[in-house]
């Protein structure tokens, strides 16, 4: 069955509060707001976990919520790049867990949306360096300060995935209309078990291909997964551009994908929002044709 | 004669490792090479689906390692390629830790006695599954897309391959020439410069690949698929032929990514 390796901190590391279990009920303190803890995961890589985390973080914060995003992809961090915050990352999750800096020092505040914060992953460390109970403690501490703790899971179902889901009560599973992605997501939903409440985002739908019978439809995908549908996103080129530039599309009022992310954020916040249609990219096949036809 | 043992890896998921493994294997098989594909993604196997052989799996990699069957019994032949192409499937209901690096390398070495090429499909990430996948290999193909996140991950993986002394070449996947010309996507030249890597292939983005993959048809067998010819070229380069690349414009992301890599 599942093996959980608990990595002991260095001997001279100070004892951290966050290693302790959450405050007991009989605590004298006035109960604080308990933020929601949501992991964004998928099993398969490259389906849009990080893009979804960044954009939902931006969209929720733009609604006025206090949001912190944790990059759980130790060794292969990317959430900082997608948010355009890479030059401002000074400390990471393991600096906090190993007691080198305070949580407040490690949080990077997004200047565009002032209630949005990032806690970056370590880039030069391994996922096995993070102890699952320490990760849970960190999430518990953050949910006392924030309305939403969004955790960006790495691909796969190894240690990094286990750490990412350990502190979460809810999951957004991202799937693309590909049989390989559906199979991986199905496996992940099984691993999330009954404790974590999962909802589905279907990403990179191309309605024209679905109509031609050349792509699985949202209904096809969810006939297998059978999850509450949180949102549908089209396969838009502006998402690639926004990732490369570090400017999430949710900030772009003119972007159809941005609007779709804002609608998902509204739905997460409890609003009854109709699902927007996945937008069709313009003339993409013409562009592709020019590559094959117009070779220099 | 011993086979070439090549791992297909990337760091980032979803950039096309499995599609590359399947199609490169198919292209080599069409050229008469005997090819065995190994799915190293225990728990999240997909190579069987991409080749459309999922219903014919009897035994898997973990069962081979645990001595519950012979490696030959676990191989699933892709009948469309006669005797040339076979796959060793991963276990779906086990953890990656069910196999050690040494055990993995041992299986790959056994397979190398039976064919001309062993192509190992690595899982995403750089955890245990990745370490297994590279343990049996003597060469690597790194697949990336022209996106900052994929390139940063590829850079990290290339560092790990260099630590092992594994020679590597690069496939840049899902290039959109129009976006490159508009300055919205990095060029292949930029990608190679940033990663200081030798290029093995350039594959344009084609949304219809998803359909072919969903149906389990390798691109070289689908006459409607223009990408089949591209994988054939890559196979020929792998065989040592000099085939020129189609180069496509220049983008404007070099500076930002270079900074990010130095910082990270």
Q: Convert the pLDDT of each residue in A216-262 to its tens digit.
A: 999 999 999 999 999 999 999 899 899 889 999 999 999 999 999 99
Measured in angstroms, the CA of A77 and the nearest CA of chain B are apart by 8
Grade residue A14 by pLDDT with cuts at 50, 70 and 90: very low
Distance CA B257, CA B252 (A): 10
The percentage of chain B sitting over the pLDDT mark of 90, rounded to a whole number, equals: 83
Measured in angstroms, the CA of A241 and the nearest CA of chain B are apart by 6
Residues of chain B in contact with residue A236, where contact means CB-CB under 8 angstroms, are none
* Over residues A118-128, mean pLDDT: 96
Measured in angstroms, the CA of A179 and the nearest CA of chain B are apart by 6
Interface test mutation site (partner B, options A75, A161, A211, A215, max chain B beta carbons within 10 A): A75
CATH number at residue B150: 3.40.50.300
pLDDT of residue B183: 87
pLDDT of residue B222: 83
pLDDT of residue A57: 98
Q: Number of folded domains in chain B?
A: 1
* Over residues B14-42, mean pLDDT: 97
Find the Cα–Cα–Cα–Cα dihedral B100, B105, B107, B113, rounded to 10°: -170
Q: Which residue's entry shows tokens 């998921």? A: B13
Residues of chain B in contact with residue A78, where contact means CB-CB under 8 angstroms, are 12, 148-149, 152-153
Which A residues in the span 138-167 are in contact with B, Cβ-Cβ below 8 Å?
154-160
Q: Where are the beta strands (DSSP E) in chain A?
A: 36-41, 67-71, 108-109, 116-119, 148-152, 170-175, 197-205, 229-234
pLDDT of residue A282: 43
Task: Please determine, for residue B100, whether its predicted confidence score (pLDDT) is greater than 50.
Answer: yes
* Over residues B136-154, mean pLDDT: 97
Task: Please name the CATH architecture into which domain A31-293 falls.
Answer: 3-Layer(aba) Sandwich (3.40)
Backbone angles phi, psi at B204, to 5 degrees: -70, 160
Distance CA B260, CA A87 (A): 7
A29 touches chain B (CB under 8 A): no
Residue A98's nearest CA partner among A6, A15, A4 is A15
ipTM over 0.95: no
Task: Please determine, for residue A7, whether its predicted confidence score (pLDDT) is greater than 60.
Answer: no
Distance CA A95, CA A119 (A): 10
Q: How many helices (H) and strands (E) does chain A have?
A: 12, 8
Domain span at residue B44? Answer: 4-263
SS3 A137: helix
Which pTM does this prediction carry?
Answer: 0.88
Interacting residues of B240 by C-beta distance below 8 A, sequence separation 6+: none
């Amino acid at each position: 069955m599942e093996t959980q390796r608990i990595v002991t901190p260095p001997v001279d590391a100070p004892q951290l509060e966050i290693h302790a279990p959450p405050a007991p009920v009989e605590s004298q303190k006035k109960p604080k707001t308990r933020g929601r803890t949501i992991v964004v995961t998928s099993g398969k890589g490259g389906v849009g976990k990080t893009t979804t985390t960044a954009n939902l973080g931006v969209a929720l914060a733009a609604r006025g919520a206090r949001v912190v995003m944790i990059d759980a992809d130790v060794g292969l961090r990317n959430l900082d790049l997608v948010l355009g915050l890479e030059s401002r990352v000074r400390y990471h999750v393991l600096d906090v867990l190993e007691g080198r800096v305070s949580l407040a020092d490690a949080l990077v505040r997004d200047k565009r949306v002032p209630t949005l914060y990032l806690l970056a992953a370590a880039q030069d460390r391994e996922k096995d360096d993070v102890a699952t109970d320490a990760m849970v403690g960190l999430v518990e501490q953050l949910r006392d300060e924030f309305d939403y703790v969004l955790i960006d899971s790495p691909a796969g179902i190894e240690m990094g995935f286990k750490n990412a889901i350990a502190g979460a009560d809810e999951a957004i599973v991202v799937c693309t209309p590909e049989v390989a992605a559906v199979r991986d997501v199905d496996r992940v939903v099984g691993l999330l078990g009954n404790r974590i409440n999962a909802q589905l985002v279907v990403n990179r739908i191309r309605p024209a291909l679905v109509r031609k019978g050349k792509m699985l439809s949202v209904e096809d995908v969810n006939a297998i997964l059978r999850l509450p549908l949180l949102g549908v996103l089209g396969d838009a080129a502006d998402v690639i551009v926004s990732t490369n530039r570090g400017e999430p599309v949710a900030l772009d009022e003119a972007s159809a994908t941005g609007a779709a992310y804002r609608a998902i954020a509204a739905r997460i916040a409890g609003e009854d929002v109709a699902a927007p249609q996945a937008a069709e990219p313009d003339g993409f096949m013409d562009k592709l044709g020019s590559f094959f036809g117009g070779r220099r | 004669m011993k086979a070439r043992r090549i791992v297909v890896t990337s760091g980032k998921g979803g950039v096309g490792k499995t599609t590359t493994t399947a199609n490169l294997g198919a292209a080599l098989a069409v050229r008469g090479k005997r090819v065995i594909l190994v799915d190293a993604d225990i728990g999240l196997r997909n190579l069987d689906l991409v080749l459309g052989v999922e219903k014919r799996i009897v035994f898997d990699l973990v069962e081979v390692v645990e001595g519950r069957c012979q490696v030959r019994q676990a191989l699933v032949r892709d009948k469309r390629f006669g005797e040339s192409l076979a796959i060793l499937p991963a276990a779906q209901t086990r953890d990656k830790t069910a196999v050690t690096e040494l055990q993995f390398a041992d299986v790959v070495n056994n397979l190398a006695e039976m064919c001309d090429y062993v192509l190992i499909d690595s899982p995403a990430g750089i955890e245990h599954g990745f370490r297994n996948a590279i343990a049996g290999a003597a060469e690597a193909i790194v697949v990336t897309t022209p996106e900052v996140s994929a390139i940063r991950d590829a850079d990290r993986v290339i560092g790990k391959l260099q630590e092992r002394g594994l020679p590597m070449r690069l496939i840049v996947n899902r290039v959109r020439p129009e976006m490159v010309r508009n300055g919205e996507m990095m060029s292949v030249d930029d990608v190679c410069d940033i990663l200081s890597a030798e290029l093995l292939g350039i594959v344009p983005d084609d949304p219809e690949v998803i359909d072919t993959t969903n149906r389990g048809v390798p691109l070289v067998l689908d006459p409607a698929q223009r990408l089949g010819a591209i994988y054939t070229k890559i196979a020929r380069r792998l065989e040592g032929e000099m085939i020129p690349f189609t180069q496509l414009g220049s983008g404007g992301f070099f500076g930002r990514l270079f900074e990010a890599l130095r910082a990270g």
